[in-house]
Structures are given as C-alpha cells and as structure tokens.
C-alpha cells in the first residue's frame, strides 16, 4: 500500500481569497456588501429606544468582518436587500449606520493616540537610558545590568509597535475610516451591481467631501 504524506500535501494547498473577494464583492473598484434582512431589528438593536438607536451587534460584526477582507483602498457600499421597511425606518438605519461607524472610528482614533503617546515616551526613554549606559560603561557590571532592564524593555516595546502593533493599528484605522464613509443603499431584490466610471468618480468625490468636512471639525 502506497504511503501518502497528506500533512505536507495539505500544507502546500493554496487558498483563493482574492478570487472569492473579487467575485463576490468588488465591482469596478468598489466593494459592495450585500445584506439581506427580514426585519428592522436585524439592523437596529432591540434594546434601543427611539432617538437613541444603535446597531445590532451581529449586524455590525457582519459588516466589519466582510469589509475587512476587501481591499483597503476600495470604497464601501452596503446594499440592504429588504421589502419590510418604511421610508422612515430606512432613513433611521442609514443614519445609525453612519453614526455608529463614526463613533467606532473615534474609539480607534483614541486608541491610536494612546499608543502614539506610549511610543514617544518609550523612544525618549530609550535614548535617555542609552546615553546613561554610554556614560556609565566604566561602572561595575552588576549596577549596569539594572539599567539594561528598562533599556531592553523599551527597545522591545518600540519594535513591537513598529512591526506588529503599529501595523494592526493602521489596519484598524483604515477599516474604521472606510466604514465611517460607507454608502448605504436599499433594494427589493439582489441584482449584480454595475458601476460605471461616472458612478465611481461620483462616489470618490462624495467621500472626499465627507472626509474634508470631518477635517474642518478639528479647526
């Protein structure tokens, strides 16, 4: 009986993420996320009260996970497929999606600022301890070893930020920014969307205007 090395065979198998993403979501550079709902509560949390609505956590997770696998430079369009909503409910859903995504972006920005402050503190501390170690090189080995502990800790933290944590933060920041700029559309049934060059240009223009408007809030 022939012996097969299936473990190595499975390790060499290749996935098809890019093919699946391009097939299911990307239309002329735009990432279109289809979402079929059967009730208002599929999107809006049942714990919400009128005027203070929030998104259903399962809905937001679906939105975030699906958007995350699409290219980071692709604008997002959420196509909600339904035949159960009133016009007022559609307006509420559109507003709450944008409002909650903007709120989530604020949380990501706050976390990013905290890590930036930590990075600056560690960088300055690394320089200071590096200088101290240089000027104390004539000391005995045991006292200097105590100075090496914070020096290596700060250096390791900086490397982690630059190569690992920093990458994740930038990735989360881009995703949150894309979700905060998402365009919401409603349709009665699913149809394979087609975007012309003019449609793409208009969407990019609308996003640029919205982003520039948020920049003005800081001034």
93, exposed or middle or buried, with CB in 10 Å at 0-12, 13-18, 19+? Answer: buried
Q: From 171, 180, 172, select the one nearest 78 (Cα to Cα).
A: 180
pLDDT digits (tens, 9 = 90+) for 43-91: 999 999 998 999 999 999 999 999 999 999 899 999 999 999 999 999 9
> Which positions of the chain have pLDDT values less than 50?
none
Delimit the domains of the chain by residue range: 25-209
CA–chain centroid gap for 121, Å, is 26
DSSP 8-state code for residue 41? G
Q: From 24, 46, 23, select the one nearest 33 (Cα to Cα).
A: 24
In this prediction, residue 130 carries a pLDDT of 87
Q: Is 116 helix (H, G, I), strand (E, B) or coil?
A: helix
């Amino acid at each position: 009986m022939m012996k097969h090395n299936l473990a190595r065979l499975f390790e060499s198998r290749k996935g098809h993420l890019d093919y699946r993403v391009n097939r299911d979501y990307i239309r002329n550079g735009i990432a279109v996320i289809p979402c079929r709902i059967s009730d208002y509560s599929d999107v809006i949390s049942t714990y919400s009260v009128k005027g203070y609505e929030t998104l259903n956590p399962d809905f937001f997770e679906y939105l975030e996970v699906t958007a995350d696998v699409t290219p980071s430079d692709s604008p997002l369009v959420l196509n909600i497929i339904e035949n159960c909503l009133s016009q007022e409910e559609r307006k509420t859903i559109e507003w709450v999606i944008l409002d909650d995504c903007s709120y989530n972006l604020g949380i990501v920005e706050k976390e990013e600022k905290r890590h930036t402050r930590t990075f600056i503190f560690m960088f300055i501390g690394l320089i200071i301890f590096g200088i101290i170690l240089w000027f104390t090189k004539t000391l005995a080995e045991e006292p200097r070893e105590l100075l090496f502990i914070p020096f290596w800790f700060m250096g390791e933290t900086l490397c982690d930020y630059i190569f690992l944590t920093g990458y994740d933060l930038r990735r989360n920041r881009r995703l949150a920014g894309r979700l905060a700029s998402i365009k919401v559309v409603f349709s009665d049934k699913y149809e394979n969307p087609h975007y012309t060059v003019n449609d793409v240009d208009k969407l990019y223009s609308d996003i640029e205007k919205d982003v520039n408007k948020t920049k003005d809030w800081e001034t």
